[in-house]
A and B are shown apart, each in its own frame.
Chain A
Amino acid sequence: MTVTGERLRTGRGLGTSAARPDGVPKVSGTFGFSSDLHADGMVWGHVLRSPHPSARILGVDIGPALAMAGVHAVLTADDVPGTNGFGLEHADQPVFARDVVRFTGEAVAAVAADHPDTARRAAQAIVVHYEPVEPVVDPEAAIVAAPIHPDGNVFRHLVIRHGDIAAEGDVVVEGTYEVGMQDQAFMGPESGLAVPDDVGGVDLYMSTQWLHVDRDQVADCLGLAPEQVRLTLAGVGGAFGAREDVSMQVHICLLALHTGRPVKMVFSREESFLGHVHRHPARMHYRHHATRDGRLVKVEARMLLDGGAYASTSGPVLVNACCFAAGPYHVPNALIEGWAVRTNNPPCGAMRGFGAVQACFGHESQMDRLAAELGLDPVELRLRNAMRTGDCIPTGQVVSGAAPVAELIRTCAAAPLPALDPAPSPMSMPGGSGRAADAGRVRRGVGFAVGFKNLMYSAGFDDFSTARVRLDEGVATVTCAAAEVGQGFVTLAQQIVRDVLGVDEVVVAPAETMTIGSAGSTSASRQTWMSGGAVQGAALAVRARLEAGQTGPIEETYEHHHPPTFPLDDNGQGNAHVSYVFAAHRAVVDVDLDLGLVRVVEIATSQDVGRVLNPVQVVGQIEGGIAQGVGLAVMEEIVLDRGLVRNASFTDYLIPTALDMPTVTVAALIEEPEPGAPFGAKGVGEPPTISSSAAVAAAIRAATGLALPRIPVRPQDIALA
Chain B
Amino acid sequence: MPAAAAPVALPESVDEVLQALADEPEAMILAGGTDLMVEVNAGRRRPVSVVSLTRVRELAGWSRDGDEVVLGACLTYADMERGPLAALVPALGQAARTIGSPQIRAAATIGGNLGTASPAGDTLPVLAALDAVVETAGPQGSRRLLVGDFVTGVKQTALLPGEIVTAVRVPLRRGRQEFLKVGTRNAMVISVVMVAVVVDLDGRTVRAGLGSVAPRPVRARSAEAFAAEHADWRRGAVASPDVVARFGQLCAEATSPIDDHRSTADYRRRAVAVCASRALARVLPPEGVHGDGGPSDE
Give A contacts to B, CB under 8 Å: 115-118, 120, 266, 268, 270, 424-427, 429-436, 438-439, 594-597, 599, 634-635, 639, 641, 646-647, 651-652, 654, 656-657, 659-660, 714-716, 719-720
Contact = CB atoms under 8 A, between A and B. Distances in A.
B154 interface: no
B261 A117 contact: no
B3 A117 contact: yes
B43 A120 contact: yes
B270 A720 contact: yes
Nearest to B1: A116
Interface string B70-92: 00000000000000000000000
Contacts of B266: 716, 720
A434 B261 contact: no
A504 to B, nearest CB: 40
A425 B295 CA distance: 6
A599 B178 CA distance: 22
Given A120-B43, A715-B263, A432 B179 contact: no
B1 A657 contact: no
19 contacts: A117-B2, A118-B4, A266-B1, A268-B42, A426-B297, A432-B187, A433-B186, A434-B182, A434-B186, A435-B297, A639-B261, A654-B185, A657-B185, A657-B188, A714-B263, A715-B184, A715-B271, A716-B264, A720-B264
A715 B192 contact: yes
Interface string B273-298: 01100100000000000000011111
Ranked 4 nearest A-B pairs via Cβ: A432-B186, A434-B181, A646-B261, A716-B267
B261 A652 contact: yes
B295 A652 contact: no
B94 interface: yes
Contacts of A657: 101, 185-188
The prevalent SS among residues of A at the interface is loop
Contacts of A117: 1-4, 43, 46
Contact of A652 (B43, B180, B262, B274): B262
Contacts of A716: 263-264, 266-267, 270
B134 to A, nearest CB: 25
Interface string B202-222: 000000000000000000000
A326 to B, nearest CB: 32
Interface of B: 1-4, 41-43, 46, 94, 97-98, 101, 178-192, 260-264, 266-267, 270-271, 274-275, 278, 294-298
Contacts of A654: 184-185, 189
Of residues A116, A118, A431, A646, which shows the largest number of chain B Cβ atoms within 10 Å of its Cβ? A431
Given A599-B186, A657-B185, A436 B263 contact: no
Nearest to B96: A433
A536 B43 CA distance: 49
Contacts of B262: 652
Given A270-B42, A715-B192, A434 B267 contact: no
B189 A715 contact: no
Nearest to B40: A117
A120 B101 CA distance: 30
B34 to A, nearest CB: 12
A647 B189 CA distance: 13
Given A268-B42, A657-B187, A425 B179 contact: no
A439 B98 contact: no
B275 A436 contact: yes
Contacts of A635: 184-185
Given A266-B1, A425-B297, A434-B180, A719 B185 contact: no
Contacts of B294: 435
Given A435-B294, A720-B270, A595 B261 contact: no
A660 B182 contact: no
Given A651-B190, A654-B185, A433 B98 contact: yes
A270 B184 CA distance: 20
Nearest to A661: B186
A427 B183 CA distance: 14
Given A425-B297, A433-B187, A654-B189, A438 B278 contact: yes
B271 A595 contact: yes
A433 B297 CA distance: 8
A68 to B, nearest CB: 13
A427 B297 CA distance: 7
Contacts of B264: 716, 720
A646 B261 CA distance: 6
Contacts of B260: 646
A394 to B, nearest CB: 36
A241 to B, nearest CB: 23
Contacts of A715: 182, 184, 192, 263, 267, 271
A118 B1 CA distance: 12
A268 B1 CA distance: 8
A241 B192 CA distance: 31
Contacts of A646: 260-261
Nearest to A116: B1
A431 B261 contact: no
Nearest to B98: A433
Contacts of A268: 1, 41-43
Nearest to B278: A438
Contacts of B180: 434-436
B4 A434 contact: no
B1 A426 contact: no
Given A425-B295, A427-B297, A720-B270, A436 B185 contact: no
Contact of A719 (B43, B271, B295, B297): B271
A426 B294 CA distance: 9
Nearest to B4: A117
A28 to B, nearest CB: 18
Contacts of B41: 268
Of residues A117, A434, A595, A656, which shows the largest number of chain B Cβ atoms within 10 Å of its Cβ? A434
Contacts of A634: 184
Contacts of A434: 98, 180-183, 186, 189, 191
A115 B4 contact: yes
B258 to A, nearest CB: 13
Contact of B182 (A425, A438, A439, A595): A595
Given A431-B181, A431-B182, A599-B186, 19 more contacts: A425-B296, A426-B295, A426-B296, A430-B186, A432-B186, A433-B98, A434-B98, A434-B182, A435-B181, A436-B181, A595-B271, A595-B274, A634-B184, A659-B186, A660-B186, A714-B184, A715-B267, A716-B270, A719-B270
